[in-house]
Amino acid sequence: MNEIKKQLNFTLNDLKIEKNIGEHYKGKVRDNFHMNDKILMVTSDRVSAFDHVLGTIPFKGQILTEIANFWFDKTKDIVPNHIISSPDPQVLIAKKAKTLPVEIIIRQYITGSLWREYSDGINGQYGFDIEDGLKQNQKFDQCIITPSTKAEYGQHDEPISREKIISELVPEDIYSKAEDYALKLFKAGQEWADKMGLILVDTKYEFGMYNGELIVIDEIHTPDSSRYWIKESYDENFKKGLPQNMLDKENIRQWLIEQGFKGEGTPPKLSDDIRILLSEKYMELYKKITGNDFEPFSGDVKKRIINNLEKASIL
What is the binding site for ligand ATP (CB under 6 A)? 27-30, 32, 39, 82, 94-97, 99, 153, 206, 208, 217-218
Nearer to ligand ATP, 65 or 190 (CB): 65
Minimum CB–partner distance for residue 185 and ligand ATP (Å): 15
Q: How far apart are the first and last CA of the chain?
A: 34
Minimum CB–partner distance for residue 240 and ligand ATP (Å): 35
Closest by Cα among 252, 247, 196 to 226: 247
Nearer to ligand ATP, 29 or 188 (CB): 29
Minimum CB–partner distance for residue 153 and ligand ATP (Å): 5
Nearer to ligand ATP, 101 or 171 (CB): 101
Minimum CB–partner distance for residue 293 and ligand ATP (Å): 26
Looking at residue 114, its amino acid is L
- Closest chain position to ligand ATP (CB): 27
Minimum CB–partner distance for residue 151 and ligand ATP (Å): 7
Nearer to ligand ATP, 130 or 182 (CB): 182
Nearer to ligand ATP, 51 or 232 (CB): 51
Nearer to ligand ATP, 154 or 241 (CB): 154
Minimum CB–partner distance for residue 218 and ligand ATP (Å): 4
Which sign, positive or negative, has the C-alpha torsion 168, 186, 68, 148? positive
Contact 61, 43 (CB under 8 A): yes
